[in-house]
Amino acid sequence: MDIRPIFSALRRHRLVMGMLILEIALTCAIVCNSVFLIMQNLQRMNLPSGIAEHQLVVVQMASIRDRPDADARAQANLASLRQIPGVRQVALVDKMPFMFSGNNSDIKLRPDQPQPSLSAGLYFGENLLSAFGARLIAGRMFHADEYLSLDRALRGLHDNNVRDLPRVAIVTRAMAQRLWPGQNALGKTFYIGKDIQMHVVGVLAQLARPNSLQRGVGFSWVVPIRMNADEGGYYVIRSAPRDRARVLADAVARLKQHNPGSIVMAQRSYDRMRAEYFSGDRAMAGTLIAVCLALLVITALGIGGLASFWVAQRRRTIGVRRALGATRGDILRYFQTENFLIVGFGIALGIVLAYGLSLLLMAHYELPRLPFSYLPAGALILWCVGQLAVLGPALRAAAVPPVVATRSV
Amino acid sequence: MLAYYFQLAIHSLKRNKVLTALMVLAIAVGIGASMTTLTVLHVLSGNPIPEKSARLYRVQIDPRGSFGFRPGMEPPNQVSWIDGMNLLHAARADRQALMTGGLVAVQPAQSMLDAFFAPARYTSAGFFPMFDVPFRYGHPWNAADDQASARVVVLSHALNEKLFGGRNSVGRMLDVGGHALRVVGVLGDWRPNPLFYDLTRNSYNATEGIYVPLSTSQVLGFAHDGSTDCWGNGGGSKRMDPAAPCAWLQFWVQLDTPASAAAYRRFLVHYSQQQKALGRFQRPPNVRLRNVMQWLDYNQVVPANVRLQTWLAFGFLFVCLVNTVGLMLAKFMRRQGELSVRRAMGASRRTLFAQLLVESGVVGLAGGAGGLVIALLGLWLVRHRPAAYASLAHLDGAMLMITFLLAICASLLAGVLPAWRACSITPASMLKSQ
């Protein structure tokens, strides 16, 4: 098809066409960047935690006042939870992946190192790894005699007495690979705080840190410290996914019954906890999707509106062309090609704008550069939207009978 | 004259209903989206204490060890117990308060209510006069109560409603964390948003129900709740060890003149040098004194997502405007015949221009009204989001005015180019071609 007549016709509507191209370009730039942001949000929401998420329910307790035997009461609570039918593992832990608070430690490989090698999220709680369902890929779990009570460990920190502090740790593979690239982490040592030496006895396949995800989601480590009933913490109970609701109700009832001096602060499945953590990301993704759709609809309406306007304006010319032998298909294709070209110009400008916008976003937010692959996808979407929008007016144009040419306007 | 233009505009808009509807819709959606996000931004970036925000300063010093030191790095946001107490007792500012967040169990006197946990603020007495906290009943505790770790408590308006049905509860006893505390005051309806003095918990819509002297909270072993930043062999826990190398308290000062602010900064530098000489600090003196708005800005208290959404909405409005310009151009150009006739009959170019602008103004007015509806709908949606600030998203009078101004300006702006183009045609050539 000869596109020269299209160009000469468009040249007569330079300003209108310029506006349309600008609109398409802006839409292209915003949609490409928005889709990229949506993908970033989805990626965050789908970060692997490394634990058996769908099998866990969590109960958070807090005691009204501290009483003696906090350690013994924790053990009694755990023993009672273990008796719930269908329960596989239980633990009282300090933190879980994807929470709004966490313990982050600066890790050193040598005591005299001026800067930390990395920052890692700390986990503790007896039986934590089994209850989480985290997979050990090398080394061993903690021995029972390695566990210390939290009170003792805090005392050890205060007095700087290593006898009251844990000496062994289990680290994630991600953390081990960063600290000792290409080496076996088992038996290696690292330092925390004022040079407290830790020996690696096990390596986990994966365990996400509780918070500060931007400092490396996969950097986590576990120490053999036992939680007590008064320090707060989370009772984690693992069962088959279908038993979760029943197990949770039973667990809450038991904990309430055994702990008259405590209040249940939260009770839910881990899936819900995780969803709450990422609810902001989900809401943002929803907003972005809505904006993209609204933009595409507005742009389609703009294209359609202008096209039907042009069709109405050119009724006579169309009639003349039909009278001179152009088929309906020719007219249809004329408008479709015209639209294809306009959208094409818009996309060409849009790609430039999309990269400009991406640079702007990178300067103000912690975002990577817009990957190239989003541009052809964005172009394809806009071409489709343009063709859909122009179809109605173009069909109306094709339906103009040749006899129009013989009538005066 | 204007009324006549208005009639002409309505007539012309009616002639092409679909196109008019498209233009109004585009403006309405664009205005609605931008007003929604702008309102959220406006609510979130408000000044929580407008009368005093320039005279209240958050104190930052750097007590950390040399490990991890890099020149130019910011000091920790909070202070340790030892430094906080030293600065509080030095009392070099016009007013000062040392405080931290906590969580305490409250056992209501009436047996119908179960015990519950309430977010608490443990603070020295300077808090209330410094932040101009209004009292409904009673009064704050004083420095002597701080000194004596007095068993006293101040309740928020909301908690007093819940516990005592809103009656004057001064003098009543309340079981807090297993200890009997005497109510000395009840606050008026005081809800600073954001909770500028402690941003480590929920910044917006935070509800602190209970205020206890900081000294009392430590003697009674009340639990700390908030962020803890430790160095060396520090470890955070529910009950903080006063000697732990951890920053977990907020220190605020009131400095009434720039001169006293400069003097206080020198005092902080001097204090840091002194502590370094004593061997407690290892880094060179690194102090910050930020007033309320600087502090909110430094902590990026307005969520990045909200800013991003505002930019996105204005981009969206721009696309809608470009869309409207295109449609108006097409519409006005089509009416060149009519306009040429009116020119030939003696109407000046300026008259026609004004008439066309009235027409686009009418579109803007309709778009503004539609935009208002969409903005209200958008804010309703925002209020149902999981964010902490959600319930604050309401349109106020100022934002309402801005909506209409924005809509009219936007559509006039969109009308200028098309109207100018349509008017600048020579009537003779158009009339001839008819």
Classify residue B225 by its DSSP letter. -
Q: Which of A23, A150, A265 sits opposite B322 (nearest CB)?
A: A23
Q: Which of A66, A194, A263 sits opposite B221 (nearest CB)?
A: A66
Q: State residue B48 phi and psi, 5-degree precision.
A: -75, -20
Q: What is the pLDDT of residue B238?
A: 75
Q: Which of B26, B105, B316 sits opposite A291 (nearest CB)?
A: B316
Whether A103 contacts B236, CB under 8 Å = yes
Q: Which of B103, B236, B305 sits opposite A284 (nearest CB)?
A: B305
> In chain B, which residues have their Cβ closer than 8 Å to the Cβ of A30?
312, 315-316, 319
Number of Cβ pairs closer than 8 Å across A and B? Answer: 151
* A86 to chain B, closest Cα gap in Å: 31
> In chain A, which residues have their Cβ closer than 8 Å to the Cβ of B334?
309, 313
Q: Above 60 in pLDDT, residue B434? A: no
Q: How many other C-beta atoms are found inside a 10 Å radius of the C-beta of residue B275?
A: 18
Q: Above 60 in pLDDT, residue A130? A: yes
Q: What is the pLDDT of residue A1?
A: 60
Mutate to test the interface with A, among B67, B218, B227, B433 (most CBs of A within 10 A): B67
Q: Above 90 in pLDDT, residue B136? A: yes
Residue B283 half-sphere exposure toward CB, CA atoms < 13 A: 22
pLDDT in tens, B5-51: 888 888 888 887 888 888 888 889 888 888 888 888 888 888 999 99
Q: What is the pLDDT of residue A356?
A: 92
ipTM for the predicted complex: 0.81
Of the given ranges (A91-100, A237-246, B273-282, B335-344), which has the lowest mean pLDDT? B335-344
Strands B250-254 and B56-60 turn out to be antiparallel
Cβ distance A66 to B386 less than 8 Å, yes or no, reads: no
Mean pLDDT to the nearest integer, A277-296 = 89
Q: pLDDT grade, residue B418 (50/70/90)? A: confident
H or E segment at B152? Answer: strand B152-155
Q: What is the pLDDT of residue B432?
A: 66
Of the given ranges (A45-54, B84-93, B213-222, B311-320), which has the lowest mean pLDDT? B311-320
Give the residue with greater pLDDT, B169 vs B301: B169
Give the residue with greater pLDDT, A208 vs B323: A208
Q: Determine what percent of chain A is predicted with pLDDT higher than 90.
A: 59
Q: pLDDT grade, residue B272 (50/70/90)? A: very high
**How far is CA B273 from each of CA B57, B90, B93, B270, rounded to the nearest angstrom?**
21, 15, 19, 5
Q: Which of B69, B312, B387 sits opposite A291 (nearest CB)?
A: B312
C-alpha torsion angle, residues A58, A59, A62, A64 (rounded to 10): 180
Q: What is the pLDDT of residue B111?
A: 62
Closest alpha carbon within chain B to A353: B315
Mean pLDDT to the nearest integer, B226-247 = 82
Q: pLDDT grade, residue B412 (50/70/90)? A: confident
Q: Determine what percent of chain A is predicted with pLDDT higher than 70.
A: 99
Classify residue A406 by its DSSP letter. G
**SS (HEC) of A219-258:** CEEEECEECCCCCCCEEEEEECHHHHHHHHHHHHHHHHHH
Q: Above 70 in pLDDT, residue B430? A: no
C-alpha torsion angle, residues A260, A266, A271, A275 (rounded to 10): 180
Domain parsing of chain A, residue ranges? 4-46+280-406, 53-277
pLDDT in tens, A148-178: 999 899 888 888 888 899 999 999 999 999 9
Q: Highest-confidence range of A62-66, A271-275, B204-208, by mean pLDDT?
A: A271-275
The closest of B223, B214, B82 to B141, measured between CA atoms, is B214
Of the given ranges (A313-322, B54-63, B226-235, B376-385), which has the lowest mean pLDDT? B226-235
**Packing angle of the helix pair B349-383, B336-344 (nearest 10 deg):** 140
* B26 to chain A, closest Cα gap in Å: 6
Among the residues of A46-163, which ranges form H helices? 70-82, 128-132, 150-159
Closest alpha carbon within chain B to A230: B238
> In chain B, which residues have their Cβ closer than 8 Å to the Cβ of A153?
235
Strands A104-107 and A118-124 turn out to be antiparallel
Closest alpha carbon within chain B to A303: B323
Task: State the Cα–Cα distance between residues A276 and A274, nearest whole angstrom.
Answer: 5
Q: Above 80 in pLDDT, residue A73? A: yes
Mean pLDDT to the nearest integer, B341-348 = 83
Cβ distance A16 to B329 less than 8 Å, yes or no, reads: yes
Q: Above 80 in pLDDT, residue B113? A: no
> In chain B, which residues have their Cβ closer than 8 Å to the Cβ of A302?
22, 26, 323, 326-327
pLDDT in tens, A296-332: 999 998 888 888 888 888 888 888 888 888 889 998 9
Cβ distance B330 to A309 less than 8 Å, yes or no, reads: yes
Mean pLDDT to the nearest integer, B230-247 = 81
Q: What is the pLDDT of residue B389?
A: 80
* B131 to chain A, closest Cα gap in Å: 28
Q: What is the pLDDT of residue A408?
A: 57
Q: pLDDT grade, residue B196 (50/70/90)? A: very high
Q: What is the pLDDT of residue B86?
A: 96
* A44 to chain B, closest Cα gap in Å: 14
Q: pLDDT grade, residue B431 (50/70/90)? A: low
Of the given ranges (A63-77, A194-208, A373-387), which has the lowest mean pLDDT? A63-77
> What is the rounded average pLDDT for all residues in chain A?
90
Q: Above 90 in pLDDT, residue A46? A: yes
Q: What is the pLDDT of residue B429?
A: 67
Task: State the Cα–Cα distance between residues B305 and B308, nearest whole angstrom.
Answer: 5
Task: State the Cα–Cα distance between residues B385 and A152, nearest whole angstrom.
Answer: 43
Mean pLDDT to the nearest integer, A211-226 = 93
Q: What is the pLDDT of residue B267?
A: 96
Q: What is the pLDDT of residue B206?
A: 72
Cβ distance B323 to A301 less than 8 Å, yes or no, reads: yes
Mean pLDDT to the nearest integer, A238-261 = 94
